Amino acid sequence: MTVISRRNFIKGSALIPMISPMAAIARLSNDNNYKIDETKAWILKARNSIPTTKDAFFQTAGIGPSPKSVMEAVSEKMHFQNEGPVNPQITEVMSVIEPNLRKHLSEAFGSHENEVALTHSTSEGINIASWSINWEKGDEVLITNQEHPANIIPWYSLSTRFGVKINRLNFATGTDIIDEIQKKVNNKTRMVSIPHVSRNNGRTLTREESEQIANILRKRNVRYHLDGAQGPLCVPFNFHELECDYYSACGHKWILGPKGTGAFFCRKEILDSTRLTWTGSHSHSTMDQKGNYELIPEARRFEFGTRGLATFAGFDEALNWNESIGISRILKRIDDLVIYAIQNWTNRGFKVISPTSKNQRSGVFVIQLPNESNGWEIYNSLRVNESTFTSPVDGPNHLRVAIHFFNTQNEIKKTFDIIEGYCKK
Ligand SMILES: Cc1ncc(COP(=O)(O)O)c(C=O)c1O
């Protein structure tokens, strides 16, 4: 494959509005006033405050770039704590970081404050959910065929240790997930763990689908967990509206928080029937040396040990930063850019792998490469030669071009031009 010359996306042209096939794009949009205005001050301002966006960054579904204010909050709190980690004036300030963040997450994402545990990753939450049951040989779990390894390996581990059987639901674009659940859930099924948004094909489980799934599973006493690594700030997320039992999220993707931050949501009605596996100091409200203890009656019982308070302060700042822009404005802008990307890629005669319908599409945008080109090779050439960051996914000729609100129409077009050029060689 021949490599074409390096392009600088931002300098000069990237934020200039382009003459585009607006009429065609408008067909995909329900909004008659649909128009992408790249020159809006809020986009320029946000983009300027995220250092990584000097490059064409389409890898938010892998790891999100943090704004400067987030990094400053982490750094400031690290230094502050180190001035005297046991000094009352310092511990007083540090000790409110976690409660404030739990409260903030619950307000932003539709849960009660006592339903949130602060974690370090989505994977940590998935493990809390997967170890929440006393598994027995022959028990079954349902996952999908569109998972990240983080929602596969914990189940493989339970399978190896306890003989738990794993069945797969077809969550490919266009399939009927409710029908899949109805066909595959049985008397042995004890847990369903599926993506809110798939990292692999970008499909979003809609609120209506999630409600229906919860309804089916609750009647059968089957636990329902959503892997929300790609959820918050990529698509609308409200914990109670989805009606799942557990939801595992992270701060370090679409929320643009510090790396190593996450949240686990647990419906308060099932807290006490949720087995606690990993625990330690801070999980309990009382204990003695004779074996008696009581756990905190809140989801924060899943937290234990000494924790990275400065990074949690950065997570809180990431929420503030997003809210200062406006979460609905961010989500609308992502959707506008995704509509543009669908139109631009299909106008070239190529296929989009992600769903294109309003409630199922997301910023996790996946294309099929022309001429059966290899996703890994294209990803690597873009990364090395063009400072353009995309990601290969499971399909050998698929490429994920994750679109966040700070991306621009012009850099999407330029990236597609380059990809098309590569694939012709
Ligand atoms: C759907 C999904 N689940 C889980 C993970 C793992 O996330 P974390 O690194 O926060 O554990 C990822 C990461 O890309 C993901 O896309």
CATH number at residue 263: 3.40.640.10
Task: Note the pLDDT of residue 35.
Answer: 53
For the cut 80, the answer to whether the pLDDT of residue 112 exceeds it is yes
Q: What is the mean pLDDT of residues 28-36?
A: 45
User: Which of 277, 317, 315, 283 minimizes the C-alpha distance to 300?
Assistant: 283
What percent of the chain shows pLDDT beyond 70? 91
Backbone angles phi, psi at 112, to 5 degrees: -80, 155
Pair (112, 76) in one structural domain: yes
Distance (Å) of CA 425 to CA 319, 375, 391: 44, 14, 20
Q: Which of these three, 300, 323, 346, is where a domain ends?
A: 323
Residue with the bigger pLDDT between 27 and 398: it is 398
Task: Note the pLDDT of residue 12.
Answer: 31
Counting the structural domains of the chain, the total is: 2
Distance between CA atoms of residues 171 and 125, nearest Å? 22
Strands of 151-206 (E only): list them. Answer: 165-169, 189-195
Atom of ligand 1 at shortest distance to CA of 62? 14
Task: Note the pLDDT of residue 3.
Answer: 37
Distance between CA atoms of residues 157 and 329, nearest Å? 41
Q: Which of these three, 303, 323, 343, is where a domain ends?
A: 323
Residue with the bigger pLDDT between 34 and 187: it is 187
Asked if residue 302 is part of any domain, the answer here is yes
Q: Which single residue is written with the structure tokens 């750094």?
A: 75
Pair (176, 274) in one structural domain: yes
Asked if residue 163 is part of any domain, the answer here is yes
User: Which of 420, 404, 337 minimizes the C-alpha distance to 60?
Assistant: 404
Pair (149, 282) in one structural domain: yes
Helix (H) or strand (E) holding 417, with range, is helix 409-424
Pair (186, 301) in one structural domain: yes
CB 227 within 8 A of CB 148: yes
- 3-class DSSP state of 204: strand
Pair (307, 331) in one structural domain: no
Domain extent at residue 362: 22-58+326-424
Asked if residue 1 is part of any domain, the answer here is no
Pair (351, 413) in one structural domain: yes
Task: Note the pLDDT of residue 81.
Answer: 97
Supply the residue whose CA is at minimum distance from atom 14 of ligand 1: 62
> How many A from CA of 249 to the centre of ligand 1?
8
Asked if residue 374 is part of any domain, the answer here is yes
Asked if residue 139 is part of any domain, the answer here is yes
pLDDT tens for 160-215 read: 999 999 999 999 999 999 999 999 999 999 999 999 999 999 999 999 999 999 99
Asked if residue 82 is part of any domain, the answer here is yes
> How many A from CA of 229 to the centre of ligand 1?
5
Atom of ligand 1 at shortest distance to CA of 252? 10
Q: Which of these three, 298, 323, 348, is where a domain ends?
A: 323
> How many A from CA of 394 to the centre of ligand 1?
14
How many residues appear in the chain? 425
pLDDT tens for 36-90 read: 666 788 999 999 999 999 999 999 999 999 999 999 999 999 999 999 999 999 9
User: Which of 121, 128, 174 minimizes the C-alpha distance to 148?
Assistant: 121
CB 118 within 8 A of CB 262: yes
User: Which of 282, 277, 331, 275 minimizes the C-alpha distance to 303?
Assistant: 282
Pair (184, 250) in one structural domain: yes
Supply the residue whose CA is at minimum distance from atom 16 of ligand 1: 199
CATH number at residue 376: 3.90.1150.10
For the cut 50, the answer to whether the pLDDT of residue 30 exceeds it is no
Pair (33, 83) in one structural domain: no
Residues within 6 Å of ligand 1 by CB? 62, 121-123, 148, 150-151, 195, 199, 227, 229-230, 250, 262
Pair (351, 270) in one structural domain: no
> How many A from CA of 400 to the centre of ligand 1?
15
> How many A from CA of 129 to the centre of ligand 1?
15
Pair (152, 215) in one structural domain: yes
Q: What is the mean pLDDT of residues 362-367?
A: 98
> How many A from CA of 199 to the centre of ligand 1?
8
Q: Which single residue is written with the structure tokens 């621009």?
A: 408
Q: What is the mean pLDDT of residues 353-372?
A: 96
Atom of ligand 1 at shortest distance to CA of 262? 10
Pair (38, 147) in one structural domain: no
Residues 6+ away with beta carbon under 8 Å from 82: none
Pair (289, 368) in one structural domain: no
Distance (Å) of CA 92 to CA 78, 95, 268: 15, 5, 28
Atom of ligand 1 at shortest distance to CA of 198? 1
Task: Note the pLDDT of residue 413.
Answer: 95
Distance of CA 121 to the CA centre of its chain: 10
For the cut 90, the answer to whether the pLDDT of residue 237 exceeds it is yes
> How many A from CA of 123 to the centre of ligand 1?
6
Asked if residue 4 is part of any domain, the answer here is no
